């Protein structure tokens, strides 16, 4: 009789343990499913935003970016969701994106993403101050202010270090050519006006921008350039061969040409205001000083 009771007790105990184990497994799987559904899945809608995401340590949470996002190296291998003006929203939905980081001037994209239930974070990086402010926005949104504050501080310190090297006894003028037709005679070009990082850089370097009262990116003619006749020209050529590009200026009688003060800038990162702003400022400064003290 005792043996039967022992067997019954054993089986009851075993059943209870199995029930407890099953309930534990169920709870464990449910918790994992909740964590998985709440996991951060970010889409970046511009190359500079992709740089921000990696710069603040969220590269692993970046699921997708745009066709032209190729820095850092890992960004090249993320899922691609189209280009700035041609976003593939169906692909975004399939990737289960729950957070998108965009530029402030992307109103149409913002509305479409929000209609899909995606949390949209907007940043603006048209000026140095706005680039620094972007770190505050991202730090608050992702609850990582300890990281973003550190990066912001590092960038500000680098900028302050550059400012200390600026010769304040000089008063030169300069035009920054943002875009033009390369390897051909210059008739017009798009130059940096006011309220953009390039105007900020000239101001920081104690250089006067004669176009600072014009829109941020403004088209000027060869004749207007001759009237301005700047002391320096920064020619951003976006990867073009500098040896050939300099020839485009040979038939324009400018002070900058006469004094060999046309600076050809070919590095593509110079066209991407964002986390590398300190490197951009440093490049402009080193090229300017190189001509100034040549």
**Smallest Cα–Cα separation from 269: which of 281, 261, 286?**
281
216 inside domain: yes
H helix runs in the chain, sequence order: 2-38, 47-55, 89-94, 107-115, 128-142, 145-163, 197-204, 222-228, 242-245, 255-258, 277-292
Q: What is the pLDDT at residue 17?
A: 66
- The mean pLDDT value of the chain amounts to 90
Is 129 within a domain? no
In a domain, 246, yes or no: yes
Residue 201, in any domain of the structure: yes
CA distance 200 to 48: 18
What is the rounded distance in angstroms from the CA atom of residue 157 to the CA atom of residue 188? 38
Domain CATH code at residue 202 = 3.40.50.1980
Q: How many helices (H) and strands (E) does the chain have?
A: 11, 12
279 SS3 class: helix
Range among 26-35, 88-97, 247-256 rated most confident: 88-97
Q: For tokens 């590398």, what's the residue?
A: 276
**Length in residues, the chain:** 294
Does 155 reside within a domain? no
Would you state the pLDDT for residue 29?
53
Can you name the residues that pair with 220 across neighbouring β-strands?
189
Residue 73 falls inside a structural domain: no
| pLDDT value of residue 240 | 59
For residue 188, the enclosing domain spans 174-292
Residue 28 has what pLDDT?
57
Locus of tokens 């390897």 = 183
Closest to 55 (Cα-Cα) out of 148, 146, 136, 129: 148
Contact (CB, 8 A) for 206 and 167:
yes
Are 276 and 49 in contact by the 8 Å Cβ rule? The answer is: no
- Rounded-to-integer distance, Cα 43 and Cα 95, Å: 9
Region 33-39: what's the mean pLDDT? Answer: 51
- Give the total number of structural domains in the chain: 1
The C-alpha torsion from 168 through 271 and 138 to 33, rounded to 10°, is -160
pLDDT on residue 247: 87
User: What percent of the chain stands above pLDDT 70?
Assistant: 87
Q: Find where tokens 């951060």 sit.
A: 40
pLDDT band for 3, please (50, 70, 90 cuts): low
Does position 36 have pLDDT exceeding 50, yes or no?
Answer: no
- Tell me how far apart the alpha carbons of residues 40 and 97 are, in angstroms, rounded to a whole number: 8
For residue 183, the model assigns a pLDDT of 82
| Residue 151: closest CA among 282, 283, 46, 275 | 275
What would the pLDDT profile of 151-199 be if each residue is shown by its tens digit? 999 999 999 999 999 988 778 999 999 999 888 889 999 999 999 999 9
Q: Which helix (H) or strand (E) holds 53?
A: helix 47-55
- pLDDT tens for each residue of 76-113: 999 999 987 899 999 999 999 999 999 998 999 999 99
Asked whether residue 59 carries a pLDDT value surpassing 70, the answer given is: yes
């Amino acid at each position: 009789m005792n043996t039967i009771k022992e067997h019954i007790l054993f089986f009851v105990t075993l059943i209870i343990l199995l029930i407890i184990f099953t309930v534990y497994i169920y709870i464990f799987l449910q918790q994992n499913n909740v964590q998985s559904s709440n996991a951060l899945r970010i889409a970046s809608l511009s190359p500079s935003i992709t740089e921000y995401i990696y710069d603040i340590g969220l590269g692993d949470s970046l699921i997708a970016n745009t066709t032209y996002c190729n820095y850092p190296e890992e960004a090249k291998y993320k899922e691609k969701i189209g280009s700035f003006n041609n976003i593939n929203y169906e692909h975004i939905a399939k990737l289960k994106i729950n957070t998108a980081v965009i530029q402030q001037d992307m109103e149409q994209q913002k509305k479409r993403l929000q209609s899909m239930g995606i949390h949209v974070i907007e940043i603006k990086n048209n000026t140095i101050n706005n680039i620094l402010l972007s770190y505050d926005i991202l730090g608050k949104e992702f609850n990582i202010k300890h990281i973003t504050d550190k990066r912001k501080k590092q960038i500000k310190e680098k900028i302050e270090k550059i400012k200390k090297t600026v010769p304040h006894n000089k008063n030169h003028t300069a035009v920054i050519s943002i875009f033009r037709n390369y390897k051909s005679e210059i008739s017009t070009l798009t130059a940096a006006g006011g309220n953009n990082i390039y105007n900020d850089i000239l101001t920081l370097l104690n250089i006067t921008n004669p176009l600072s009262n014009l829109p941020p990116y403004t088209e000027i003619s060869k004749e207007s350039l001759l009237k301005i006749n700047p002391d320096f020209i920064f020619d951003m050529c976006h990867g073009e061969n500098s040896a050939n590009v300099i020839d485009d200026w040979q038939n324009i009688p400018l002070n900058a040409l006469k004094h060999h003060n046309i600076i050809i800038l070919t590095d593509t990162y110079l066209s991407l205001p964002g986390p590398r702003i300190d490197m951009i400022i440093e490049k402009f400064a080193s090229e300017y000083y190189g001509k100034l003290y040549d």
